[in-house]
Amino acid sequence: MLKSQMNKLMVGIFILAGTVFLVQCGDDGTRQMNEGSDPVTETDNLREGQTDQADNFQQERDELASDMRELRDDIDDRINELDSEMESAAGDVDQTTQQRYEELTQDRDELDRAIENLENSSEETWERVRSESQNTYDAARSRFEQLGNERDMN
Chain segment 77-93, per-residue pLDDT in tens:
999 998 888 888 777 77
Share of the chain above pLDDT 90, in %: 44
Chain segment 7-28, per-residue pLDDT in tens:
665 555 657 566 655 556 655 5
Calculate mean pLDDT across residues 112-126: 94
Do the Cβ atoms of 82 and 53 come closer than 8 Å? no
* Global pTM value: 0.63
Calculate mean pLDDT across residues 40-51: 58
3-state secondary structure of 7: helix
Share of the chain above pLDDT 70, in %: 62
Q: How far apart are CA 85 and CA 138, in angstroms?
A: 27
Predicted confidence band of residue 136 (pLDDT cuts 50, 70, 90): very high
- In the chain, the amino acid numbered 136 is T
